[in-house]
Chain A
Amino acid sequence: MPPYKAGLKRKVTSDKKSDNVVEDKQDSSSDNEIEDLLQGDLDKESDATDSEHEQEDDGSDGERDEVLFDDSADSVLEEDPQSEESIDESSDLSDSEDNESGDSADDDESQPESDEEQSADSGAETGTAPSASGSSDESNKKNQILKNENEKSNIKQASTKKKALKQRQKKKMSSIDVLASKIQEAKVSTEPVQQKDEYESGDTSDEEDRVNTAGEVPMWWYNEYPHVGYDLDGRRLIKPPQRDHIDEFLKKCEDPEFWRTVRDPSTGQDIVLSKEDLQMLERLRQSRVPSATHDEYEPWVEWFSREVLATPLRAFPEHKRSFLPSRSEQKQISRIVHALKMGWTKTRKQIADERKKKKERQFYNLWGAGGQVRAPRSLPAPRRALPSHAESYNPPPEYLLDRREMKEWDKLSETPWKRKYTFLPTRHASLREVPAYPRYVRERFLRCLDLYLAPRAIKMRLTINAEDLVPKLPSPRDLQPFPTSEVLRITGHEALVRSVDFDPSGQYIVSGSDDGTVKVWETSSGRCLRTVRLGAAVARVAWTPALGLSLVAVALGRRLLLLNPGADIGAHRVAADTDALLAEPPPAHDVLMDERTSSCVQWEVVDAEQWARGVRVAVAHFKPVTHVAWHARGDYVAVTLAEGAARAVVVHQLSRRRSQLPFRRAKGLVQCAVFHPHRPLIFVATQRVVRVYDLVKQELVRKLQTGAQWISAIAVHPAGDNLLVASYDRKLVWFDLELSARPYQTLRLHGGAVRALAFHRRYPLFASAGDDRYLVVAHGMVYNDLLQNPLLVPLKQLPGPERSGELCVLDVRWHPAQPWLLAAAADHTIRLYA
């Protein structure tokens, strides 16, 4: 509320006070002061507005005043362009505001003036007003005069208004009441002006043909005029002829349309309500929707549904808010979830379940375990045997006891547990006639006792197929080449062949036989190229591995002979070199042997006759030589003597013609001694144990327990890390020296004593032979990878020679380059398998 209005109200109340309480207002100075103040305020206000107008355009001031306050018809013409101008100018917002404020100021002015006029009516303060306004400057004097004129005219108007009011209210109110009601009225009328939409009136005025342009002014302003306002063209709207009560009555009687005739307060015209209007009124009275065409129950179109429309109904995009989860909702939900977690609240489902559970009836489980914890796994009672035919009520006749059996039954009455049955098979004509079993309860009881007292245990059994235990071995077909058949049978010896060997290139075969000969054969054809008669049974032949030498070590009784097989065997140059090398012994001072050695070993001087026969070196021992093994370089020969005890192993050095006894004490009955292929180790096989000695450090490196009863032969893998041991008790024992001192694998491939075995130098093959008819060829793959164990696959049983006496095959050898196997047989032959 603006301040002047507040002041107005105050004044009104003070007026009331003064009117109600005191008659003589001049005494109370304070009141006067207030009034003065108020008046001054008011004046200032009016001054201010005026000054504003003056500031705008001074020239038009007088005109304006005239327009505003002159009620002559002429001035209307003058006013029109002004108003039009103002409308034109009202495109500017401030101007229009000015206009409005001016209008409102006019209204406000008019009200206090009317108030003043009313107060003047009371005749109280007419004198004070000029004095107050007298303080204003000279420029306002003209206004003042005009105002005064206005006041006069207003007074006039007020008087006419007063009359009209008096007519309306029929003098039933006191003057004070009238004043109050007037004030209220004025107040009521002022309010819509302030709240009015500036476009509303214009809109409505366009629609009506006969429009009052007077505006929202109280119609009683026009009470004293013949017109009620102005139409759009500015012409006066002439009031229709006034009718008194009689006219009204007459019209009521005469006019059939009277009942639906109403007076338009703005124009004063009578309007006959049309039928539609009446219907609308009727509907309004029934508090229904005014329009009859409006269908309240038309089908609902759900424009805004969850369906996503191809074209949105609303042009603006969804608000950002709609995409963001609500923070407050989130808080609320988290609070609920927390409460659920903590168990402070329960979901509806839980509550429903609880309620349901409460409704269910609880029964005691009579047959349950009874709370006591049983053994983790109960053992089922042993099944009883199913009833036999004898237990039938109508057993077949053969189950019924005949007389003899009855006699026996009776005889065993003292010892009923020896009886055939625990019951007597009886025949009944039908099931009906079967009597109750008298021992039923007792037997049940005994059974229960048995179950209760007899301890039981579950026997865990593993079912393993025999095939699963057999290791998966590759097929022999994938492990070719290996010898598959006999290709050459070399005959020529007259007694059993004790030993065979290939020369390092594989061109020749040397064989030693019991007929006292050493023969050299051509491998490819089996042609005998040389025969050396030595006069005694040859126990062992071994070709030197040295490529630059042509020598064969022959064990002949107690002697070890080194033969040069002949000038035409092998390369002539090599043979000649060998002869030249061995022609004369090295100087004697170099050959120093201790007494122990010299007592058992004698390096003989080879005479001319022996030299012609091919003998280049001869060494005599104190015991018969059973085994000869060359060192890989060909300089050393390890000789095993039969029953030599501590001196059973003798190592001869060829280049220096010197012998050594590596062992001081006898560890057992030495079977054979073999050099390691490339390290200074010697393998010595006694009856059951293989010992590995380091020749440089002169110490025992390893002791291999074979598990065999009597070792017959040993063979070292060409790589040196694996050892194969043959025994007379039909076993082949494979040792992986890297793995352990225990046998890696024990092979039982033979039906008789195993006498000979050999590793192939190039192919992963080994062969063994013995007193049974078969030679066994096996695949023995040794991997460089330390993590991979050797792979042993028996490949082939080669049919060997027929047994002659107890013996069958005495020695086997592999060809140095080809997968060919040579066997010395007891039937005087040598056989080559390829």
Chain B
Amino acid sequence: MAGDTGEAQLQVRFITKQEQYAVSDSPYAIQSNVQSVELNTLLNALLKENRPSFEKSVEFDFLICGELLCTSIAEHLQEKGLSTEDTLEIEYLERFPAPSPQDCLMHDDWVSAVHTHGSWILSGSYDNSIHIWNTKGQHKLAIPGHTSPVKAISWVSFNGDQAIFASGSHDQSAMLWVWNVSGNSVDCVVTCRGHEKGVECLAVSADAKSFATGSWDTNICLWSTSLSDEDNVPAKKKQKPDQGNTREPMAVLKGHREAISGVQWMDFNTVVSSGWDHLLKIWDCELGGIKQDIAGNKAFFDVDWSPLSNSLITASSDRHIRLYDPRSTDSIVKTTFTSHTGWVQSVRWSKTRDTLFLSAGYDGFVKLWETRSPKTPLYDLSGHEDKVLCCDWSNPTFLVTGSCDNTLRIFKAKHATGNA
């Protein structure tokens, strides 16, 4: 102790919201230069003291003043401008376990879009094809159909043996497909034609009754996902059995001045879109009007909405990821996440945790972020050798990314024991 004259002593108290890891809230004196590793060992020792049944050591993350501890406590406090005199409350929570690379699925061309549902992975490629994989890495089907690179893809619904998915491509069309799982046959049911330029993004509403596409022609089109057009189903089937029938959009939302880069459903009739005109727009689908404009100062590349945290996460043309709260009247950025060294092309929220999201950047990294740690991501998922174009976390277990190196990588997220 005498040797540590330079280091200050800190009074800390450990609190947690995860009851199975609760310890007594009596304050402890620790050195101020300790990091989360030392805190982890201390906390595990405390837990073992209290509960003999507790055997397996658990990794924890520590929140000090609402921000994740990445450096030593002293540096963290200095950054926050807090005094070391008071008793410090350290909240701890079980660390999200590191995802492990599980598989690498080779494509013939750049993977531009990916979506998972259950154990099925749908991927779109620049070679105009769509691929269906299962999570074990087995290639189920390659679907040619589009005449231009597929830029967006999404599962619509699984109904027993029949799975429906939608795809958008630069050939100015979106397509609705029906995949017979057991028979492993796919059929293009509807071709949605309404855009004058390439479709850039696509999102299916939560009730799976409609989907929205954003395009380079600055419009958002809303389409129905119903497979049958009531009025002229038989005629179309006769005419083009392979291509299915064409469909007009339910509604066209016009308002952006530049290309639309991302579109997401917020609820059953609200759509948020991001554009290259530096704007986020929230649309009312029933009225077809703009509910809210959020102005940024860089072109947006992607947007995602989390119903868990009620906030928007955006990727824009300056390497930063920004967290917006659409409920705040002004477009004040809540947090800016800075770690990527290239453009971030895609961001996706976790479907189960309100503080976690995934980002894919042109620097070849996929990063797993915790919203309370704006400077440092939780994990860098490396493996891609070129620009990462898309990512997906629809299945909480699998983190799927597609890249310019013609691969689609699957990372397996172990379930945190606390969340189980």
Which positions in A face B, CB cutoff 8 Å? 480-481, 487-488, 505-507, 524-527, 529, 568, 570-573, 817-818, 820, 834
Contact = CB atoms under 8 A, between A and B. Distances in A.
Nearest to B258: A817
Instruction: Give the top 3 A-B pairs by smallest Cβ distance, nearest first.
Output: A568-B148, A571-B196, A571-B197
B277 A817 contact: yes
Interface stretch (B30-38, B225-233, B297-305, B412-420): B297-305
A834 B258 CA distance: 17
A488 B147 CA distance: 26
Interface in B281-322: 297-299, 301, 317-318
B115 interface: no
Contacts of B59: none
A11 B326 CA distance: 140
B276 interface: yes
Contacts of B362: 487-488
26 contacts: A481-B297, A487-B317, A487-B343, A487-B362, A488-B343, A506-B276, A507-B197, A507-B198, A507-B216, A507-B259, A524-B261, A524-B301, A524-B345, A525-B112, A525-B345, A525-B387, A525-B404, A526-B387, A527-B404, A568-B148, A568-B171, A570-B197, A571-B196, A571-B197, A573-B196, A834-B317
B298 A568 contact: no
Given A524-B301, A525-B389, A527-B126, A834 B343 contact: yes
B342 interface: yes
A572 B345 CA distance: 26
Interface of B: 110, 112, 126, 147-149, 170-172, 196-198, 216-217, 258-259, 261, 276-277, 297-299, 301, 317-318, 342-343, 345, 362, 387, 389, 404
B216 A505 contact: yes
A248 B53 CA distance: 165
B276 A818 contact: yes
B174 to A, nearest CB: 15
A76 B45 CA distance: 154
A482 to B, nearest CB: 12
Contacts, number: 56
Given A481-B297, A487-B343, A571 B317 contact: no
Given A487-B343, A505-B259, A834-B317, A818 B299 contact: yes
B12 to A, nearest CB: 40
B342 A487 contact: yes
A207 B389 CA distance: 141
A311 to B, nearest CB: 74
B301 A571 contact: no
Interface of A is mostly: loop
- Which of B110, B276, B297, B389: most chain A Cβ within 10 A? B276
Nearest to B148: A568
A391 B113 CA distance: 94
Contacts of A527: 110, 126, 149, 404
Nearest to A568: B148
A418 B196 CA distance: 95
Given A481-B297, A527-B110, A834-B318, 14 more contacts: A487-B342, A487-B343, A487-B362, A507-B259, A524-B301, A525-B387, A527-B404, A568-B147, A571-B172, A572-B171, A572-B196, A818-B276, A818-B299, A818-B317
A809 B72 CA distance: 47
B299 A572 contact: no
Contacts of B298: 481
- Which of B171, B197, B301: most chain A Cβ within 10 A? B197
A543 to B, nearest CB: 16
- Which of A481, A527, A570: most chain B Cβ within 10 A? A527
Nearest to B218: A505
Contacts of B148: 568
A570 B215 CA distance: 11
Contacts of A526: 387
B86 to A, nearest CB: 37
A492 to B, nearest CB: 12
Contacts of B172: 571-572
A488 B198 CA distance: 21
Contacts of A570: 197
Contact of B217 (A488, A524, A571): A571
Nearest to B341: A485
A63 to B, nearest CB: 126
Contacts of B259: 505, 507
Contacts of B258: 506, 817
Contacts of A568: 147-148, 170-171
Contact of B276 (A572, A573, A817): A817
B309 to A, nearest CB: 28
A777 B112 CA distance: 32
A572 B147 CA distance: 12
B107 to A, nearest CB: 14
A795 to B, nearest CB: 16
Contacts of B317: 487, 818, 820, 834
Contacts of B277: 817
A132 B246 CA distance: 171
A571 B172 CA distance: 8
Contacts of A524: 261, 301, 345
A820 B316 CA distance: 13
Contacts of B126: 527
Contacts of B112: 525
A524 B299 CA distance: 11
Nearest to A487: B343
B170 to A, nearest CB: 7
Contacts of B299: 818
Nearest to A484: B318
A506 to B, nearest CB: 8
Contacts of A481: 297-298
Contacts of B318: 834
B300 to A, nearest CB: 11
B384 to A, nearest CB: 14
A570 B217 CA distance: 9
Nearest to A832: B343
Contacts of B171: 568, 572
A525 B259 CA distance: 14
Contacts of B343: 487-488, 834
B22 to A, nearest CB: 47
A571 B194 CA distance: 12
Contacts of A506: 258, 276
Nearest to A574: B196
A132 B387 CA distance: 169
B254 to A, nearest CB: 16
Contacts of B217: 571
A664 B318 CA distance: 51
A571 B196 CA distance: 6
A526 B277 CA distance: 20
A673 to B, nearest CB: 32
B123 to A, nearest CB: 16
B325 to A, nearest CB: 24
B189 to A, nearest CB: 22
B193 to A, nearest CB: 10
A439 B261 CA distance: 98
Contacts of B276: 506, 817-818
Contacts of A507: 197-198, 216, 259
A550 to B, nearest CB: 11
A572 B215 CA distance: 14
A572 B277 CA distance: 23
A506 B362 CA distance: 19
A824 B204 CA distance: 40
A620 B112 CA distance: 42
A753 to B, nearest CB: 31
A37 B297 CA distance: 139
Contacts of A505: 197, 216, 259
A799 to B, nearest CB: 15
A505 B196 CA distance: 13
Nearest to A834: B317
A573 B387 CA distance: 31
A639 B258 CA distance: 32
